[in-house]
Amino acid sequence: MSLSKIKQIYHSTFLEAVEEPLYLYAFCLLVFLIIVLAVARSFKKELIPVFADEEGLVKITPHALHELVRKTCEVFPEVNSPSTRIRLKGRELRLDIHLKVNPDCNVKETRTSIRERLEEIMVKNLNFSNFGGVDIIIKGFQSES
């Protein structure tokens, strides 16, 4: 593209300028870069701090927390298909556990059992200093097989 062509585009009106392919290419490049940034950001998983002491900092991956919840829920036959959403509010960590339950399940007892078991593992065994609790969300019902 010649210098005179660039000057011509620079001095043209908005409606004349948008008809030039240069602006279309620049817009497409901008959209592409935004998409690449969004995808790259979604792949970046931050480590979650467990505790810190004079020897250093201990962190855990979100995948490990999902696995911990899944394995904890396997103990309860009335619970199926657990999935977890990790929420960090300030320095407090909360877990939203989405479950399918059997229709005859006592949800209150099951919630208490899951919460107590996760608190035992996370606070007593893993020494989580920022564990804020568990919220149970029923995402459906599953008949007993």
Chain segment 130-145, per-residue pLDDT in tens: 888 889 999 988 876 5
pLDDT at residue 34, as a whole number: 96
Classified as helix, coil or strand, 48 is strand
- Domain holding 12, by residue range, is 3-43
Instruction: Decide if 103 contacts 141 (C-beta within 8 A).
Output: yes
CATH at 78? 3.30.70.1350
Nearest CA to 143 out of 106, 96, 113, 102 is that of 102
Going by the DSSP 8-state scheme, the letter that residue 128 receives in this structure is -
pLDDT at residue 98, as a whole number: 93
Q: Are residues 56 and 38 in the same domain?
A: no
pTM score of the predicted model: 0.64
Range from 5-14, 25-34, 35-44, 64-73 carrying the lowest mean pLDDT: 5-14
Q: Are residues 81 and 131 in the same domain?
A: yes
Is residue 56 within a helix (H) or strand (E), and if so which, with residue range? Answer: strand 56-60
Per the structure, the count of domains in the chain is 2
**CB neighbours of 44 closer than 8 A, spacing ≥ 6?**
none
Q: Could you tell me which residues are beta bridge partners of residue 134?
A: 95
Chain segment 101-127, per-residue pLDDT in tens: 988 888 899 889 999 999 998 888 888
pLDDT at residue 44, as a whole number: 66
pLDDT at residue 23 tops 80:
no
Q: Are residues 57 and 108 in the same domain?
A: yes
Chain segment 56-97, per-residue pLDDT in tens: 888 888 889 999 999 998 988 888 888 999 888 887 889 999
Q: Rounded distance, CA 64 to CA 71, Å?
A: 10
∠ Cα 107 75 66 (to 5°): 90
